[in-house]
Amino acid sequence: MTGTRKLLACGTVGALLFIVVIVVNGVIKPDYDPVNDFVSEGAIGRGGWLQIANFVVSGGLLTAFSFGLRRTVSRWTAWLTRIFAVSLIGAGVFVSDPVPSDLASGHGVAHDLVSLVVFVALIAACFTAARWRPTRLWRWYCRFTGVAVGVLVIAAGGVDPVDGGAGLVQRGSILIGWSWLAVLAWRARQVRGAIATHLPRRTGALRR
């Protein structure tokens, strides 16, 4: 496996790891309701280290992935994915406040800001990636993902944070968005592998 394909593989691992950990954390974390509590609230209190580590490790893997995208997909998609990934790390460094909360802490405000950047950058990356080796299905998938993530994030912020199912709605946006990242990584690896397979033949033909 080439260096670029290893970087692209980090995208698949990082995206799927994040999804798996939020599911596990929703099951094992004490006094935590994944239906109504946001994913970020899983980093608060006892057992919060798991979600903090999830933000940081997944963000690190997706940052590495962005360098593979720069070589394979496009500069804009790579930069937007890198902004997304670094902001994901920031979401782990700055722990969220409980929702709802009457008093906002400095780290809670910082968390909210970097979380906003996470979703905005991801949505924008969907639309730039739609132009890369476009097929009708790929364009549709990228645009659907961008719109769906945006709608669900807005919807999660608008429902009752106590018993309105905000956590479930937000998890829907993450499942759709992070799964798209895994598919993008897989598609980029396939393209990179096909290019690598044909390069030696072209080189040999030139030598002959």
Q: Which long-range contacts (CB under 8 A, 24 or more apart) does 155-164 make?
A: 156/38, 161/36, 161/99, 161/100, 162/36, 162/100, 163/36, 164/36
Taking Cα atoms as reference points, which of 49, 50, 86 lies closest to residue 67? 86
Residue 50's Cβ-count burial label (10 Å; 0-12, 13-18, 19+) is: middle
Number of domains composing the chain: 1
Mean pLDDT to the nearest integer, 134-150: 96
Rounded CA gap, 105 and 111, in Å?
10
pLDDT in tens, 67-107: 999 999 999 999 999 999 999 999 999 999 998 888 899 99
Confidence bin at 201 (pLDDT 50/70/90): very low
pLDDT in tens, 6-15: 999 999 999 9
- Give the chain's mean pLDDT: 91
Comparing 203 with 156, the larger pLDDT belongs to 156
Residue 16's Cβ-count burial label (10 Å; 0-12, 13-18, 19+) is: middle
Where in the sequence is the domain holding 104, given as residue range(s)? Answer: 3-207
Helix H or strand E encompassing 148: helix 136-158
